[in-house]
Amino acid sequence: MQENQVKICLSLAGKTIDENLRILEQYRDKVDLVELRADFLEPSEKFYIRIFPEKARIPSLLSIRRASDGGKFTDGEGVRLVLFAKALSYARSDVSANYAYVELEDDFHIPAIEEACRTFGTRIVRSHHYQKGLPENLDEALAALSREDDEIPRLDVAIQSSGEALRFLRWWIALPPAERIFTLTGVYGLFGHILSSRLGSMWTYARSRHPSDASDRFLFDPAVLHDIYHLREYGPQTELYALLGQKSIAASLSPLIHNTAFRTLEKNALFFPLVVDRIEDGLALLELLGCKGAAITVPFKEDVLPYLAFRSTDVQRIGACNTLVLRDGAWAGYNTDADGFERSLMQFLGRTDLEGMRATIIGAGGAAKSVALSLYRKGAHCLILNRTIMAARELARKYNFLYGHLDDRSIDLISSYSELIVQATSVGMDSEDDPLNFYEFKGTEAVFDLVYHPPRTALLKRAEAAGCQVTNGYRMLCYQAAGQYKLWMNEPPPEIYAHIEP
């Protein structure tokens, strides 16, 4: 256990006390304290908030969040005051039966309540919820929450952009150590959610993925923080690696893959998502956080090129970079996609080369460029089909391949390039769209769809039904990740990457 051990606070938003206790039981061994969000309770249940800490048997925090602060409570300040008074009264000598913490907003000062907290050992968390982005003056915002020495200031900010995340982080890391809780919400704040203790927050919040959770704030499930990010096991020495991409990476499988590998190999390293809207913000955040490397994904694989001090041969050939390694204080750029695809493809086909094979590549974007390089290296002759013919032409010319339109004008061409069909566009990702719906499978084609979510796209289902051998892009994802491991750790990629299941 590290000295600055991460604390995970399970935020409970059930409608009844019993429901909350049931949720707590699912996670008890993964969390350090619980927040009872009393504003989510049904009216009759609110009378019983006093007994919650005793029943929960874990340090408990009480919050009754008003609608104006993003909560559910609309009954007015008089009623809220009575609820706080009820919850904090009749303090017991066994302090574990009392609330350990209570959250009071910076405009809620009731001396009798504060006095009761101080007398019976309930710590006050003094909060402000900024729901529309960062306050202009962060020093003033923190000062307003820090008037009493024995209170814990809590700044909660719904981060709106990576520029805001950067401004907040620059300010945060320059602060002297003190007891405080900072919560960055929204996808741009995900990194703060995971790195909160490293950055000096007393705890990070997690929420059960539960049907009654109507909140759209992005909170991880405690099991995700515990089982994927191993939050309780990292400390100041942990090496950081980030996944740099846009909003969709919040659901990426890469953190599961890398963190499972790091853990299995006892590497003191953590891989986390860093959502940005500009590559410049991403690079500045990587530097501020002290990251040793990064995985770069859509749409930044090309945007990052001007910032690289070194570009590998594959980066130069593909024109895109998916891996950064910090070397002598500058970023070296690599691309592990072509190798990852190649390994997965050879395994799928059970071959070591593709000399003379005729293959069709669907798409001419970043992913298709890696596929084309890999098929060229293995000796295949390819046909590239793309919605935008100019992009197909440009890619085809590089390797002396054929190209065509992604529609029924190309049917005859596909028929003679159909030993292998590789789908390398994003079409079919989380949808039922089939980019090859004009083509009827014969059953002899091997079909590789780079999309892995859903595991079987409409295209793969159709191919499989026709008797084709099919696979998706999940193993490619694992193998390109293995290539990243090799670059980051400077050692052969471990076999574990071939066996991690989604």
Q: Write out the residues near ligand ATR by the rule CB under 6 A.
A: 298, 363-368, 386-388, 391, 406, 425-427, 435
**CB of 298: closest distance to ligand ATR in angstroms?**
5
User: Please, which residue, 192 or 245, has the CB nearer to ligand ATR?
Assistant: 245
User: Please, which residue, 184 or 451, has the CB nearer to ligand ATR?
Assistant: 451
45, 15 contact by CB (below 8 A): yes
Amino acid identity, residue 317? R
**Pairing status of strand 293-296 against strand 323-327:** antiparallel
Inter-axis angle of helices 162-173 and 138-145, nearest 10: 60
User: Please, which residue, 298 or 346, has the CB nearer to ligand ATR?
Assistant: 298
User: Please, which residue, 294 or 427, has the CB nearer to ligand ATR?
Assistant: 427
Backbone phi, psi, residue 310, to 5° = -145, 140
Question: Residue 409: CB partners within 8 Å, gap ≥ 6?
Answer: none
Tell me the residue ranges of DSSP E strands in 90-172. Answer: 101-105, 123-130, 152-158
Is 195 exposed, middle or buried (CB count within 10 Å of its CB: 0-12, 13-18, 19+)?
A: buried
What 8-state DSSP symbol labels residue 360? E
Query: Residue 244 forms beta bridges with which residues?
Result: 274, 296
Enzyme catalytic residues: 301
**Cis amide linkage into residue 153, ω under 30° from 0:** no
Query: Residue 101 forms beta bridges with which residues?
Result: 61, 123
395, 320 contact by CB (below 8 A): no
Question: Residue 304: CB partners within 8 Å, gap ≥ 6?
Answer: 279, 283, 296, 321, 324, 331, 333
Q: What is the CA radius of gyration of the chain?
A: 27
Q: Half-sphere exposure of residue 244, counting CA atoms within 13 Å on the CB side?
A: 32
Residue 129 has a CB neighbour count (10 Å cut-off) of 20
Backbone phi, psi, residue 366, to 5° = -55, -50
Q: CA-to-CA distance for 147 and 145, rounded, in angstroms?
A: 6
- Length of the chain equals 502
Tokens of 217: 């704030």
Tell me the residue ranges of DSSP E strands in 262-386. Answer: 269-275, 293-296, 310-311, 323-327, 330-334, 358-362, 381-386
User: Please, which residue, 323 or 426, has the CB nearer to ligand ATR?
Assistant: 426
User: Please, which residue, 364 or 446, has the CB nearer to ligand ATR?
Assistant: 364
**CB of 430: closest distance to ligand ATR in angstroms?**
13
Amino acid identity, residue 286? L
Report the Cα 47 to chain-centroid distance in Å: 38
**CB of 450: closest distance to ligand ATR in angstroms?**
8
- CA 423 vs CA 25, 83, 317: distances in Å: 44, 59, 20
**CB of 427: closest distance to ligand ATR in angstroms?**
5
Residue 287, SS3?
helix
Tell me the residue ranges of DSSP E strands in 168-318. Answer: 181-185, 204-207, 239-245, 269-275, 293-296, 310-311
**Nearest residue by C-beta to ligand ATR?**
365
**CB of 429: closest distance to ligand ATR in angstroms?**
9
User: Please, which residue, 341 or 441, has the CB nearer to ligand ATR?
Assistant: 341
User: Please, which residue, 263 or 387, has the CB nearer to ligand ATR?
Assistant: 387
User: Please, which residue, 254 or 426, has the CB nearer to ligand ATR?
Assistant: 426
